[in-house]
């Protein structure tokens, strides 16, 4: 798919999601997609390789969390940790769309953390950084801790609880409503909202599980 066609698809998806993004932010998103494609050839950051598929399955899928996140933060400057960020999804997308949010992407794979650092420089994102570490070792406190296709809710909350601020929230992006995972959570985790979201061009169920300390 040509770059103009990708740009048109992206703009349509952004409109469908009800997002307001500047031309510069849309360019950054397309540049990020291009970076991801280039690095992917060498470092295998994602199994999806077709640009059109990457736009839908990665970019638009990650953009679906932006409106809910903006409603939660109400424009406040916050610290966000994206766990098991891989190629930076949704962390880099959040950093582009929400410049007031300081985004830290943590991954146990060094080359993935290096890609995030490279993206921060290439896309001129001073609010983005990549950290090579296991999430259990993170001691900084974050207002929001996100994950996308990372682990079960039990593992995600257990491994990252040391990084969650007292009044912070976990935001887990999932496919269909993960009822078994929700049932398995301990009383230390309070699920206060399961939000169903639509992803333009993706005919699959998606939801966001919002959690806080119980």
DSSP string, 131-199: EES-GGG--S-EEEEEEES-S-HHHHHHHHGGGEEEEEEEEEEESS--HHHHHH--TTEEEEEEEEE--
Domains of the chain by start residue, with CATH: 61-213 (3.40.50.150)
Average pLDDT for 23-35: 96
- Asked whether residue 45 carries a pLDDT value surpassing 80, the answer given is no
Token pair of 182 as six digits: 């929700």
Q: List the strands of the sheet with 142-148, edge to edge.
A: 128-132, 101-107, 78-83, 142-148, 164-174, 206-213, 189-197
**pLDDT at res. 1:** 59
pTM beyond 0.85: yes
pLDDT at residue 59 above 80? yes
Tell me the chain's radius of gyration from C-alpha atoms: 16
Query: Average model confidence (pLDDT) for the chain?
Result: 94
Encode burial over 96-131: b for 16+ CB neighbours within 10 A, e otherwise: bbbeebbbbbbbeeeebbebbeebbeebebebbbbb
Instruction: Assess whether pLDDT exceeds 90 at residue 214.
Output: yes
Q: How many CB atoms lie within 10 A of CB 138?
A: 20
Region 157-172 average pLDDT: 98
């Amino acid at each position: 798919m040509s770059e103009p066609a990708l740009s048109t698809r992206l703009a349509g998806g952004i409109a469908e999601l009800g997002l307001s993004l500047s031309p510069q932010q849309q360019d950054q998103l397309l540049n990020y997609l291009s970076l991801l494609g280039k690095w992917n050839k060498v470092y295998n950051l994602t199994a999806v390789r077709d640009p059109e598929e990457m736009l839908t399955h990665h970019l638009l899928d990650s953009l679906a969390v932006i409106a809910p996140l903006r409603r939660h933060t109400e424009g406040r400057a916050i610290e966000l940790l994206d766990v098991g960020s891989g190629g930076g999804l949704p962390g880099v997308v959040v950093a582009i769309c929400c410049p007031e949010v300081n985004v830290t992407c943590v991954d146990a794979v060094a080359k993935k953390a290096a890609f995030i650092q490279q993206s921060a420089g290439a896309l001129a994102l001073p609010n983005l950084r990549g950290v090579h570490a296991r999430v259990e070792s993170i001691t900084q406190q974050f207002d929001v801790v996100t994950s996308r296709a990372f682990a079960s809710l039990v593992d995600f909350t257990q491994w990252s609880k040391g990084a969650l601020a007292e009044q912070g929230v976990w935001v887990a992006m999932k496919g269909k409503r993960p009822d078994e995972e929700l049932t398995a959570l301990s009383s230390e985790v309070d699920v206060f909202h399961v939000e169903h979201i639509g992803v333009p061009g993706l005919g699959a169920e998606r939801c966001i599980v919002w959690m806080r300390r119980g």
